[in-house]
Amino acid sequence: MLIEIRHVRIEYSRLSKQGKQHFYFRNRKVALLLCDCCNSQFERPVKQMDPRRLTDEHTHVCPMCNTKKFAQSRGVESRKFWNTTVDQDIGLGDL
């Protein structure tokens, strides 16, 4: 679940050729998300995400959880809801 999109200011420093240290900053857009597997909050840079996934229609899984295991559990939930077996298809008329 998407909670909000934040603007984060990150400061860096670099050493010039004369040995003087210069500080500079970059603004980064970060999405604050709620993991659908363990219900913990995590951040992800917006540039790394597909813009279509920045909605609540998609599920979001944190880096600590196993995404493939979560996807399989979602399939089990939908099979229980529709009362189908693994190899059974749901027709468009049944939806």
Q: Cα–Cα distances in Å, from 84 out to 27, 38, 69, 76, 93?
A: 49, 27, 20, 10, 15
Kindly tell me which of 41 and 84 has the beta carbon lying closer to Zn ion.
Answer: 41
Candidate segments 10-18, 30-38, 68-76, 84-92, binder of Zn ion by CB under 5 A? 30-38
Residue 29 C-beta-side C-alpha neighbours within 13 Å:
8
Q: How many residues bind Zn ion (CB under 5 A)?
A: 5
Q: Which is nearer to Zn ion, 5 or 38 (CB)?
A: 38
- Whichever of 8 and 38 has its CB closer to Zn ion, that residue is 38
Round to whole Å and give the CA distance between 11 and 3: 25
The CB-of-21 to Zn ion minimum distance in angstroms stands at 39
